[in-house]
A and B are shown apart, each in its own frame.
Chain A
Amino acid sequence: MGIETENQIIEKDMRDLALKLLTNHEVDVIIGYTKGTIPLSSSPIMITKPEEVDKLVWNNLCYVNLAKYLVPRIPQLVDPEKGNLKIGIIAKGCVGRALIHLAVENQIDLENIKIIGIPCNGIINRKKIEKEVGEKEILEVYASGDNIIVKGKNFEQKYAFDQYINELCKVCKVKTPPSIPDLMNSCMGECQEISSVEDSFSDLDEFEAKSSKEKWDYIKTTLETCTRCYACREACPMCYCNLCFVDQNKPVWFSKTTDLPDIIVFHLIRAMHLAGRCVACGACSSVCPMGIDLNLITRKLEKIVKERYNFTSGLNKEKLPPMMSFSMKDTEDFMLEED
């Protein structure tokens, strides 16, 4: 069900907390979401003045993973005089997971960050709705009861909320940010204690039942429209390398053309780099201008990591992720799998 009915309460609590943090100078800036200028969108916003907290919104279109703005590549959050700013961040579950995982990888210091946790019940799959509506301009979108209402000139359509949220949101088990036991003060608003998740990964059954050739065909047809604008990479909170492997040119490792093999190499290697790190926020798919949905690829990796190493990213600040640790007991059998 959409959060149209209760979001006013969530928004009010969120704004109150943001106001308190800013007026008490506990933080210098609040990173949150504001209303988008077009339907089916929202926009990240950075608020420094207490009187601007009313610009903060929370709804089922807040698809950007705000943790992206904390990674060192984005320079705005450093004040030349004060150094690193103290930050308050509006966090749904996957933003919270990203923050914890970034802390595990020593990219951010959670001591300087106040997490304003909010419950999320799924992000509307904007690309799927755009495709359904087709060549008619969407003028208004909102969640109402169990439906997403889409309005335009001379038309109004209803889509079942459960069906038209991101595929990753449908199987999400971490709706609010996980709390961090030794930093209880850093998480305000709604956070939850969660040490592990049970996941059947049954959503992958259909894909896994396919033959190798069918899987390969799926990957090819999914990726063929990619323009290599790298919106997926730039929106990903875990893609923070100063120089991405695909941009390295001394020497050139991978070709940058849009020949299908080159596109596939980029996406599959990027996916490999996200194994055990992806926090399943779905931002990569939400932002793709060509409507490419990468969720099956990342979801499959999540499953492999969970099965082999019993690890889920972004839940625990103390547990080392599989790609950052080595054990003689690590299984290697998947390397030899045919599919």
Chain B
Amino acid sequence: MDQKILMKNEIGKFYIELAEDYNFYAPVNEKGIITFKKVLNSGGIVLDYLNSKVPPKEILFPKMEVLFEYKLDGKEVEIEDRKDLNEKNIIFGIRPCDAHSFILLENFFGLGDTPDEIFLKKRQNTTLIGIGCNTPRTTCFCTSIEGHPFNKVDFDIFLVDLGEKYLLEAVSDKGRELVKKFSWLKDAKKDDLKQAERLSKEAEEAIVTKLDLSHIDKVLDPNFDHPIWKEISEICVGCGTCSFLCPTCTCFDVIDETNQYNNKGRRVRIWDTCQFCLYTLHTSGHNPRDSCIERCRNRIMHKFSYYPENYNVLGCVGCGRCVQLCPVNNDLRSIIQKINQIENKKKEAEKISA
């Protein structure tokens, strides 16, 4: 049977058995902020949280990552490759929306003739143990993008918080293999499964934000020059909050840093965003995205038009972080509604003129 029961007081035992072989990442509360950290004991793990401020993408795609380091010896260059890529990781307690974002990240980093080996290797060595969202926020809208607060397909192992205990289900082969380690886990009973089903339904009903994203790519495509972009970007101040804290944003900048005093250097990748003035700034001085108007448009276009065009899936997981955290409350939900109205308004105008 794939469904087991993990008592809440057994989390420590569960952790200890895994921490031997894996880097164990889990949500912890640091100065009032929920964040994913590599934990050294199970004491600080928080599982009854809303969602982390910084999405768990930062474990595989950190805000700053040294790609390689080098040493110069005369004319000889010695490159030190990353040694940690073969380490095994567990990301514990992540939400279904964030787990889905890992699929989107893989699409991006795996595309083309030069896949990003650093990311892909880490992803390959990572096992996702997630947990259902019993209390989604009013800003969550995963059900509008074919997600669900209890969607388990993107996990290896999926937990449901049943109060005193967790229902633990192995979803993938990787997950099933791992669960074999825990011979002490008891099988789940029918009542447990029923309770999980009820919680799943309640969570689904708790999602009040419903967005129509069915035609958005079709609406966006012909409206690249629509005046609505000016309206949408009017109050944007041009910071990177929406994209830095977005679980699906992948833009990065690469910097070479040299330390000429000891003949060393490193190549670093840091997060970048289409909202910054340096993004797509050409050496000539020309910038095709010269103001907030083009930059705001790019963010929306990328997620809801270019991404579906390239990968056949929306580039958003409905976590609502950008809604919660935008400094000027430029709400993505309102933006989507405004875009959907473009077509409605056009139809109305056609009706009147007919």
Q: Does residue A247 face the partner (Cβ distance < 8 Å to B)?
A: yes
Which segment of A14-22, A134-142, A179-187, A312-320 sits at the interface?
A134-142
Q: How far is the CB of B57 from chain A (nearest CB, A)?
A: 12
Could you tell me if A247 and B277 are in contact, using CB atoms closer than 8 angstroms? yes
Selected contact of A41 from candidates B33, B63, B277, B329, CB within 8 Å: B329
Tell me the dominant secondary structure on chain B's binding face: loop
B38 contacts which chain A residues (CB < 8 A)? Answer: none
User: Which residue on chain B has the smallest CB distance to residue A39?
Assistant: B138
CB contacts (< 8 Å) of A259 on chain B: these are 64
Stretch with Cβ within 8 A of B (4 or more), from A4-12, A156-164, A231-239, A273-281: A231-239
Closest chain A residue to B30, Cβ basis = A225
In the complex with contacts A135-B34, A137-B137, A233-B239, A228-B63 CB distance below 8 A: yes
Q: A38 and B327: CB pair below 8 A?
A: no
* Pair A44/B50 contact, Cβ less than 8 Å: no
Q: Is B147 an interface residue (CB 8 A)?
A: no
CA distance A136 to B32 in the complex (A): 12
Q: CA separation between A102 and B122, bound complex, in Å?
A: 49
Contact A230 B257 (CB under 8 A): no
B328 and A64 form a contact (CB under 8 A): yes
A131 at interface (Cβ–Cβ under 8 A)?
yes
Closest to A291 in B: B33
* A230, B293: Cα distance in complex, Å: 18
Q: Is the CB of A43 within 8 A of B333?
A: no
Report B-chain residues with C-beta under 8 Å of the C-beta of A229.
239-241, 244-245, 273
Separation of A139 and B138 alpha carbons in the complex (Å):
8
Which residue of A is nearest B330, CB measured?
A43
Q: Does B238 contact A (CB under 8 A)?
A: yes
CB nearest neighbor in B for A256: B270
Q: Given the complex, which residues of B lie within 8 Å of A256, measured CB to CB?
A: 253, 255, 270
* A222 closest partner in B (C-beta): B31
Closest-CB distance, A24 to chain B (whole angstroms): 24
Bound form: Cα–Cα A42–B237 in Å:
14
**CB–CB A227/B255 < 8 A:** no
Q: Does A269 contact B (CB under 8 A)?
A: no
- B176 adjacent to chain A (CB < 8 Å): no
Q: Kindly list chain B residues whose C-beta atoms are within 8 Å of the C-beta of A252.
A: 255
Quick check: B239 and A231 within 8 Å, CB to CB? yes
Instruction: Tell me, in angstroms, the Cα distance from A227 to B30 when the chains sit together.
Output: 15
> Given A75-B292, A135-B46, A289-B53, A227 and B324 touching (CB < 8 A)?
no
Q: Which of B17-66 contact A (CB under 8 A)?
A: 29-35, 46, 48-50, 53-54, 63-64
| Cα distance A252–B256 in the bound complex, in angstroms | 11
| CB-contact partner of A247 in B63, B239, B278, B324, under 8 A | B278
Q: Is the CB of B235 within 8 A of A137?
A: no
A243 at interface, CB cutoff 8 A:
yes
Confirm or deny: B323 has a beta carbon within 8 angstroms of a beta carbon on chain A. yes
Q: How far is the CA of A235 from the CA of B236 in the complex (A)?
A: 10
* Contact present for A255 and B239 (CB under 8 Å): no
- Kindly list chain B residues whose C-beta atoms are within 8 Å of the C-beta of A287: 239, 241, 327-328
| Contact between chains at A137 and B54 (CB < 8 Å) | no
How far, in Å, is B235 (CB) from chain A's closest CB? 5
Cβ-defined partner of B64 (8 Å) among A37, A134, A258: A258
> Is B257's CB under 8 angstroms from A235's CB?
no
Which B residues are CB-close (under 8 A) to A289? 53, 241, 244-245, 325, 327
Contact B329 A42 (CB under 8 A): yes
- By a CB distance below 8 angstroms, the chain A residues around B277 are 243, 247
- B193-216: CB near A (< 8 Å → 1, else 0) gives 000000000000000000000000
Spell out B's residues near A (CB within 8 Å). 29-35, 46, 48-50, 53-54, 63-64, 135, 137-139, 230, 233-235, 237-241, 244-245, 253, 255, 257, 268, 270-271, 273, 276-278, 291-293, 323-325, 327-331, 333-334
A contact residues vs B (CB 8 Å cutoff): 36-38, 41-46, 64, 68-69, 74-76, 130-131, 134-137, 139, 153, 225, 227-231, 233-235, 243, 247, 249, 252, 255-259, 286-287, 289-291
Q: List 17 A-B contacts (CB under 8 A).
A: A36-B329, A38-B138, A44-B328, A46-B234, A76-B293, A135-B50, A230-B239, A231-B237, A231-B327, A233-B239, A234-B238, A243-B277, A247-B277, A257-B255, A258-B64, A258-B270, A289-B325
For the A-B complex with A231-B241, A287-B241 known, give 18 more contacts whose Cβ atoms are closer than 8 Å: A36-B329, A43-B328, A74-B237, A74-B292, A76-B293, A131-B32, A135-B34, A135-B48, A136-B50, A137-B138, A225-B33, A234-B237, A247-B276, A247-B278, A249-B278, A257-B255, A289-B241, A289-B327
